[in-house]
């Protein structure tokens, strides 16, 4: 298919124009006009680009692309090497950040909830990024931490009481530790995100709400897979997901 048709197809699914984001959504680097194979991944690292080159992909689809607000805009250092690799091999880079977190079916928060067996009841907060719902059956916070670790294949960190009973939860994939106070305001028993900050510890203890840091990469690897599968299904092209481990 043509690259512009692919971009239009994904834009139609994720509607990036509805979001105020920290990076451009959609086509970030333009490669060859014809797309037969797409490699999907969480982050457009050099390792992912090298994998895309080895697999003879025409485009890369990611959650974390380039050109973030506040970063140096110049094409120097690792950014030069990455963009050079893409352009030399005619590989396009398509990146979708917040639209892929928020999408009600294919997004990181929706797919994370499905993976963990949670029942979503709503989306609130900044651009609908804070999700809330309930566990299929009450657990204590220690059991919930273990369940998350098992399902995501990575040890999660629990702040707060192990024995805290949990039935209502709020979550936001990635680096959303700043949403903890807002989650507490929703009256939930536990908040789950990817990353953690020092102050989350005190807030968890003093409010008696469990905080679970399950990994930025580990909580954001399902959205781009679901999107890739949908794109392959709709357009009849080959989309291969490549999971490159990241301990954070
Ligand atoms: Zn992220």
What pLDDT score does 125 carry?
81
What pLDDT score does 243 carry?
96
How many angstroms separate the CA atoms of 221 and 212, rounded? 17
What pLDDT score does 114 carry?
97
How many angstroms separate the CA atoms of 114 and 111, rounded? 5
Q: Residue 75 C-alpha to ligand 1 middle, in angstroms?
A: 22
pLDDT, averaged per 10 consecutive residues of the chain (248 residues), comes to: 97 96 97 98 98 98 97 95 98 97 96 97 90 97 98 97 98 97 97 98 98 98 98 96 96
CB 56 within 8 A of CB 39: no
How many angstroms separate the CA atoms of 64 and 116, rounded? 23
What pLDDT score does 242 carry?
98
What pLDDT score does 75 carry?
96
Please state the pTM of the whole predicted model. Answer: 0.95
Q: Residue 146 C-alpha to ligand 1 middle, in angstroms?
A: 23
How many angstroms separate the CA atoms of 152 and 160, rounded? 21
3-state SS, residue 132: strand
Q: Residue 148 C-alpha to ligand 1 middle, in angstroms?
A: 18
What pLDDT score does 157 carry?
98
* Beta bridge partners of residue 170, listed in sequence order: 132, 191
Sequence-distant (6+) residues with CB within 8 A of 216 are 173, 174, 175, 194, 195, 246, 248
What pLDDT score does 126 carry?
79
Q: Residue 174 C-alpha to ligand 1 middle, in angstroms?
A: 4
């Amino acid at each position: 298919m043509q690259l512009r048709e692919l971009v239009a197809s994904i834009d139609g699914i994720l509607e990036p124009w509805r979001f105020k984001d920290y990076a451009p959504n959609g086509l970030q680097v333009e490669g060859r006009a014809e797309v037969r194979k797409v490699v999907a991944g969480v982050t457009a690292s050099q390792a992912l680009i090298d994998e895309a080159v080895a697999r003879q992909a025409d485009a890369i689809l990611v959650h974390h692309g380039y050109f973030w607000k506040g970063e140096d805009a110049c094409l120097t250092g690792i950014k030069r090497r990455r963009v050079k690799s893409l352009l030399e091999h005619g590989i396009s880079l398509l990146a979708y950040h917040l639209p892929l977190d928020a999408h009600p079916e294919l997004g990181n928060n929706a797919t994370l909830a499905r993976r963990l067996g949670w029942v979503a009841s709503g989306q609130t907060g900044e651009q609908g990024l804070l999700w809330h719902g309930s566990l299929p059956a009450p657990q204590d916070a220690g059991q919930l931490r273990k369940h998350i670790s098992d399902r995501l294949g990575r040890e999660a960190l629990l702040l707060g009481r192990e024995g805290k009973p949990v039935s209502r939860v709020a979550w936001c994939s990635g680096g959303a530790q700043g949403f903890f106070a807002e989650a507490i305001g929703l009256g939930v028993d536990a908040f789950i995100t990817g990353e953690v900050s020092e102050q989350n510890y005190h807030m968890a203890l003093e409010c008696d709400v469990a905080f679970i840091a399950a990994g930025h990469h580990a909580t954001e690897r399902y959205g781009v897979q679901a999107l890739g599968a949908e794109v392959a299904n709709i357009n009849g092209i080959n989309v291969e997901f490549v999971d490159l481990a990241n301990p954070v």
